[in-house]
Structure 1
Amino acid sequence: MAAVDVIVDGLVSLRRRLALRQNLPWFFLVFSVVGSVLKDLDLVPQSYFSSSKNVLNVYFVKVSWGWTLLLLTPFILLSNSSFSRNVSFLACRSLSLAVATAVWYVCTETFFYIEDVTGACYESSSLLLTNLDFPSKQACRRAGLHWSGYDVSGHSFILTYSALLIAEETSPMASLRTAALSPLSRTSLGLLYVALNLITLLWLWMFLCTSVYFHDLSHKLLGTLCGLLGWYLTYRFWYLKPLSPGLPPQRQTKEQKQLA
């Protein structure tokens, strides 16, 4: 559809002007600190998004990894098949999602473990009276009590990591605009690209809300750094090596080939 092509071209141009892939890591790092300062100084008024029960948090952020995989999986298959339909190539590139899922699982389980071993069970959120009858977080909360431990921000981690993953895997779209795609594949790819940009915008907004409303500075900063580290070790280090899923393929334009 012509309308989809126009929107895709606009998004590609906007991302190029913003230098999204280069600036996005700094966005998360800076606003993790700035948002925490604003929270500590109580400069941001309470709003709908200061409640963890807001619709975006309940139906999107809490299952953010599912949304990311749901949209990114078909996009990777379609976009990479326009460069090569070799089965081994597509399978290798699809492994990037398996690697990303492993990073997500290890980090989130580690966060849960840290909170469990550093915490204690309290009678209420005031943290005045400890209940020693419940030595684990699960048992404590099952009893309707309050568990308090070192709570690394899983939201900061997953929103950072998901947005960076999407930014990397959608980067070939600039060269896909001139690729030989069927009308159906072109439209499907365009719609997925638009959806991925919208979900990234949502992740950025919810990251800002997390920064100014929830957790302590060290909790958010550590979660953000884990997301940045997971992205850096894969897309800026390991994926540059031969034995890896590899980076998303880029098709050179005529001007780039001439300069090369």
Structure 2
Amino acid sequence: MSTRRKPTSSSAANGQPTPLTSGMPSSTIRTSSNTRSPFFPTRLEALLLAIYPATLLLGSVFSTLSPATRSAPYSAASQSHPPEFAPSYFAHKKNVFNVYFVKLGWFWTTAAFATLLVVWPGFGAGLTVKRIRAGFRYAAITLWWMFVTQWFFGPPLIDRGFRFTGGQCELLRDPEARQGMSDTREYFTAATCKAVGGQWKGGHDISGHVFLLILGSALLWFEFLPAVTRMEGLRDGRRIMLEDGKVASVAVEKDPEHEKEEPTTRGVKFSLGVAALMWWMLLMTAAYFHTWFEKFTGLLVAFSGLWVVYFLPRGVPQVRAVLGMPGV
């Protein structure tokens, strides 16, 4: 069993005091004989993250086994079934959830996070260090979303990857338009290609929907997880690297004033609802849109950003001093 480490306690290994992270209450730090790397998730986090590849697998299996989906033509250019052959309402790109939720996914992510940030008592009253660091984590994730899907010193990373793998913009509207093919190839982003009547063809198109839905929902999960996990075995277990190189266990800081408060009543329900709807639309995306490899790369790109913001700080005290950790 782990024992609490006081700020003035000495390490059993060399008799030297172990420095704590600046701003982190000493009551949250515990020595541990567990040698698991601080960069690895806890069991609860691993189960949470496993939901995403499992969802993609489930959707792909469904699309393979469903007679309606198998018999419907699929367009590689649009990464979807043609509207007239769509096997489900959710297979239409213009379904209400896709148009007003997924297409505006980062707006809903921001609204849910802002609600949690403002009203959840776990951040304390006023402009606390916890609230500021949570804002930094959101800003870092948002920057990654922008680099991948919106802009990266020019075209976003998704478009750059498509061009790097041999893709180009091709005019498909009519034969006369094809005469301008050489000029069309110079259009470097999907948006400008579509604006002149062309389509992306020939390269690997990372699924932006998968990327967005995983990144946004996981951001919310990691932030409100401390609010909905009350059992000691669930909320403890994260490992961090201390400034002297030792590994310790960090627990969610308890707030006696709100210890008996129902954890999902203030700021969490809305965030939980947004995350749940994102999961459902991820399942629909897995079932009806994109190829398996396009969805898999969307997953990897989302996980890479989440690892930098939520796992890298555990092993690098300098990064942790800026981004902090949810719940402590």
Separation in 2, partners of 1:70, 1:124: 39
- Helix, strand or coil for the counterpart of 1:171? helix
2:327 matched to 1:249? yes
What's the counterpart of residue 90 of structure 2?
49
Contact 1:159 1:204 in 2 (8 A): yes
Of 197, 201, 216, 1:162 maps to 216
Judged with a 3 Å threshold, the aligned counterparts in structure 2 of structure 1 residues 191 and 53 are, in CA distance, closer, same or farther, namely farther
What's the counterpart of residue 133 of structure 1?
183
The superposition leaves residues 48-93 of structure 1 with CA deviations (integer Å, 9 ceiling, x where unpaired) of 0000101011101111111111121231243366546564443223
What's the counterpart of residue 99 of structure 2?
58
The structure whose RCO (Cα within 8 Å, separation 6+) is larger is 1
Separation in 2, partners of 1:74, 1:188: 14
Judged with a 3 Å threshold, the aligned counterparts in structure 2 of structure 1 residues 44 and 220 are, in CA distance, closer, same or farther, namely farther
Contact 1:124 1:146 in 2 (8 A): no
Separation in 1, partners of 2:132, 2:54: 36
Separation in 1, partners of 2:256, 2:116: 15
Separation in 2, partners of 1:80, 1:106: 32
- Helix, strand or coil for the counterpart of 2:200? strand
Judged with a 3 Å threshold, the aligned counterparts in structure 2 of structure 1 residues 20 and 48 are, in CA distance, closer, same or farther, namely farther
Separation in 2, partners of 1:81, 1:152: 37
What's the counterpart of residue 200 of structure 2?
147
Contact 2:119 2:267 in 1 (8 A): no
Is the radius of gyration larger for structure 1 or structure 2?
2
Which range is displaced more, 226-235 or 196-205? Answer: 226-235
Separation in 2, partners of 1:132, 1:41: 42
TM-score normalised by L of structure 2: 0.60
- Helix, strand or coil for the counterpart of 1:121? strand
- Helix, strand or coil for the counterpart of 1:161? helix
- Helix, strand or coil for the counterpart of 2:184? coil
Of 208, 224, 227, 1:173 maps to 227
For 1:76-91, list aligned pairs within 5 A: 76-79=117-120, 82-83=123-124, 85=126, 87-91=128-132
Which range is displaced more, 53-62 or 84-93? Answer: 84-93
- Helix, strand or coil for the counterpart of 2:323? coil
Q: Which is richer in helix?
A: 1
Using the TM superposition, give the Cα deviation of residue 110 of structure 1 relative to its aligned residue in structure 2, in angstroms: 0.6
Separation in 2, partners of 1:114, 1:158: 17
For 1:107-122, list aligned pairs within 5 A: 107-108=148-149, 109-117=156-164, 118-122=167-171
Separation in 2, partners of 1:238, 1:44: 46
What's the counterpart of residue 276 of structure 2?
201
Using the TM superposition, give the Cα deviation of residue 188 of structure 1 relative to its aligned residue in structure 2, in angstroms: 11
What's the counterpart of residue 238 of structure 1?
313
Identity of aligned residues (%): 24
What's the counterpart of residue 29 of structure 1?
53
Using the TM superposition, give the Cα deviation of residue 138 of structure 1 relative to its aligned residue in structure 2, in angstroms: 4.3
Contact 1:61 1:155 in 2 (8 A): yes
Q: Number of paired residues?
A: 225
Using the TM superposition, give the Cα deviation of residue 160 of structure 1 relative to its aligned residue in structure 2, in angstroms: 0.8
Separation in 2, partners of 1:194, 1:178: 20
TM-score normalised by L of structure 1: 0.74
Using the TM superposition, give the Cα deviation of residue 20 of structure 1 relative to its aligned residue in structure 2, in angstroms: 6.3
Q: List alignment gaps of at least 5 residues for structure 2.
A: 1-42, 70-86, 150-155, 231-252
One-letter code aligned to 1:132: S
One-letter code aligned to 1:76: L
Contact 2:171 2:184 in 1 (8 A): no
Q: Give the alignment's Cα RMSD to 1 decimal.
A: 3.1
Contact 1:157 1:223 in 2 (8 A): yes
Judged with a 3 Å threshold, the aligned counterparts in structure 2 of structure 1 residues 85 and 179 are, in CA distance, closer, same or farther, namely farther
Judged with a 3 Å threshold, the aligned counterparts in structure 2 of structure 1 residues 44 and 88 are, in CA distance, closer, same or farther, namely same
Q: List alignment gaps of at least 5 residues for structure 1.
A: 1-18, 251-260
Of 165, 172, 194, 1:123 maps to 172
Of 48, 68, 73, 2:109 maps to 68
